[in-house]
Structure formats: C-alpha cells, structure tokens
Amino acid sequence: MPSVEAIPVNLVELVNAGDLECECMACHLPLELKHGPVEWKLTWRFPGPYPVPGEDTMLLCEPCYRDWIEHPDELGGFPRASHRV
C-alpha cells in the first residue's frame, strides 16, 4: 500500500488570508446575510441516537459560534472543545 504524506497546514495563515469559509452545519443566519470571517474552531459532541454518536469539528464565524454555544439543546449535542483561530 503506498504511503500518504501528510502536508502540514497553517490554519492561522489560511484564516488570515480569508481562504476559509464558515462551516456551520445548522446555520440560523438569514440567507441574505453573509457569514463573517472564520474566528472559531469548535468540536461538537453528538450523543445520538443519530445513525451513530460522534463528534465533528467546524470552523465558524462569530454569529454561528455563538448560536451553537447558546442553543445546544436546539442543535442536539454539546461543545467538547473550542478555541479562537
């Protein structure tokens, strides 16, 4: 099996260059509003009973991050880790 070389990614450089977009999976922003720049990395724990329990990590703008943190009951889970990027 051929090996796959990991290419290091500097997340700060990508964020500063504006090359990343908000990855909100359950966005409540009105369609006519544009997402701001990515400011947060959020790891979310989905306990289930969805097809399988698990976690996902998203890069989020400030309004989407606040939505996930302030309304976990509506979004089905809880934050496991977060930090500014």
Buried b (16+ CB within 10 A) or exposed e, 14-44: ebeeeeeebbbeebeeeeeeebeebbbbbeb
For the chain, the straight-line distance linking the first and the last C-alpha, in angstroms and rounded, comes to 35
- What pLDDT, in 10s, does the model give residues 37-83? 999 999 999 887 767 889 999 999 999 999 999 999 888 899 999 99
The model carries a pTM of: 0.75
pLDDT tens track for 34-48: 888 999 999 999 887
* Residues pairing with 70 in the sheet: none
Per-residue pLDDT band at 10 (split at 50, 70, 90)? low
